[in-house]
Amino acid sequence: MKPLAPGDEQARARDLARMKRIPLLLLLLMAVLFAVTLGRPEAWAGWVHAFAEAGMVGALADWFAVVALFRHPLGVPIPHTAIIPTRKDALGDAMARFVSEHFLAPEAVRAKLESIDMARLATDWLQSERGQQRLLALADAAIRWALEALDEQRVRRFLARVTQRQLESLDLAALLGRTLEWLVQGNRHQDILTQLLRYAIVLLNDNRETIRARVSEESPWWVPGFVDDRILRQVLERVELRLYEMSLDPEHPLRGKFNDWLVRIAEELKTAPEHRRTGEKFKRQLLENEELLDYLYGLWEDLSGRLTSDLDAEDSRTRSEIGKALERLATELRADPDMQAWINEWLMDALVTVVDQNRAQIASLISDTVRTWDGQETSRRVELALGRDLQFIRVNGTLVGGLVGMVIHAVTLWLG
């Protein structure tokens, strides 16, 4: 159990000792009144005597009840006393069940989360200076940690080993075939083809003079230049016209041929042994190419060094870009109520699910922690925390007992 600070513990102990004197003084007062009125014939004495007698009974009963929580009364091992030190584990289990059933139930968690606008709180925090500083510091620490980890020889060897094994088990030809199949689904390949056709038209138009010069160089000397120009112009016009037609007409026959060719190539890549052998050969060349690996590692070292130097600078561009990205994110989120509602719903469902699936483990933290506490020390600290309020039970027991005694005395007089 976490110990209290020495000053707090001593202050609570003094406060508890002072509070214990009040019910004790009341008990002594009841005893004095009982002794003074014992055997006196006056009518008032009977009422005071009954009050004092029942008050003593109530005071002693509640003293026993309060003390029995923490220790054996007067050191006598009466059954069902010293409840906290002897049954702390069972009490911890019961408290864990209570928390699990009532505080971590999905209905309770959902009701609490519905009252919180988590997206709005996150947006306000992102736009606050403190929130941005905390996130920037976290991002800076995460990047540095990742760079240091990746610079560690053991980590690099591990990643290289894992990457090599993954590449060795990879079928490049089949992977390329499945990728082409995915492109064909939904006509994604046609969209790509359209963009390529448009680029080819622009490229052809921009390089007319270059093509013309190359044709003039390769043309026989005896062919007149105007003939070359006429032939070239007709060829380029026909090529451009065909490219325009294909780019504008989704149902162009050549597009259908392109589609069939791509489907056939995708199937061959997945099934043809020669393609698989080619993919394996290429993969082996990659794995055995030490120069490529050294080059990639050199690029990584250069990038890592530049990033570390930038993070060390006061006017770090990386931190500045991260800060701007966070600010843009917060601004967009604040201006989008639909996104805020979606985030709140998603977080609420996720948190409710996580808490519901793990509430037994969360609640077990209580019972498992209580099991590690010493029984006597637990009893002493609980008494320091709650003992002052429990003394009011003794005070109330004394006074209420006295009042009950007076009622009994009144009934006795009425019956007698």
CA 201/CA 224 separation, integer angstroms: 28
CA 367/CA 373 separation, integer angstroms: 10
Residue 33 above 70 pLDDT?
yes
- Which of 186, 374, 180, 390 is closest to 264 using CA atoms? 180
15-19, 282-286, 302-306 — most confident range: 15-19
In this predicted structure, what is the pLDDT of residue 405? 92
What pLDDT digit, counting tens, does each position of 299-328 carry? 777 888 888 888 888 888 888 888 888 888
27-31, 92-96, 187-191, 217-221 — most confident range: 27-31
In this predicted structure, what is the pLDDT of residue 225? 60
In this predicted structure, what is the pLDDT of residue 95? 87
Instruction: Please state, rounded to an integer, the average pLDDT across all residues of the chain.
Output: 83
In this predicted structure, what is the pLDDT of residue 233? 72
> How distant, in Å, are the alpha carbons of 191, 198, 281 from that of 259?
12, 18, 28
What pLDDT digit, counting tens, does each position of 107-156 carry? 888 888 888 888 888 888 888 888 888 988 898 899 888 888 777 777 77
What pLDDT digit, counting tens, does each position of 196-231 carry? 888 888 887 787 777 766 666 666 555 566 555 676
pTM of the model: 0.52
- The region of weakest confidence among 99-113, 124-138, 241-255 is 241-255
> Could you tell me the two tokens for 365?
């933290």
Query: 51 vs 298, which has greater pLDDT?
Result: 51
- For the segment 370-397, the average pLDDT, to the nearest whole number, is 86
In this predicted structure, what is the pLDDT of residue 237? 78
- For the segment 384-388, the average pLDDT, to the nearest whole number, is 84
The full 3-state SS of the chain, as one line of letters, equals CCCCCHHHHHHHHHHHHHHHHHHHHHHHHHHHHHHHHCCCCCHHHHHHHHHHHHHHHHHHHHHHHHHHHHCCHHHCCCCCCCHHHHHHHHHHHHHHHHHHHHHCCHHHHHHHHHCCCHHHHHHHHHHCHHHHHHHHHHHHHHHHHHHHHHHCHHHHHHHHHHHHHHHHCCCHHHHHHHHHHHHHHHHHHHHHHHHHHHHHHHHHHHCHHHHHHHHHHHCCCCCCHHHHHHHHHHHHHHHHHHHHHHHHCCCCHHHHHHHHHHHHHHHHHHHCHHHHHHHHHHHHHHHHCHHHHHHHHHHHHHHHHHHHHHHHCCCCHHHHHHHHHHHHHHHHHHCCHHHHHHHHHHHHHHHHHHHHHHHHHHHHHHHHHHHCCCHHHHHHHHHHHHHHHHHHHHHHHHHHHHHHHHHHHHHHHHHC
* Residue 336 buriedness (CB in 10 A; 0-12 / 13-18 / 19+): middle
In this predicted structure, what is the pLDDT of residue 7? 57
CA 34/CA 406 separation, integer angstroms: 13
Residue 278 above 80 pLDDT?
yes
- For the segment 4-19, the average pLDDT, to the nearest whole number, is 77
Q: In this prediction, what percent of the chain has a pLDDT beyond 90?
A: 13
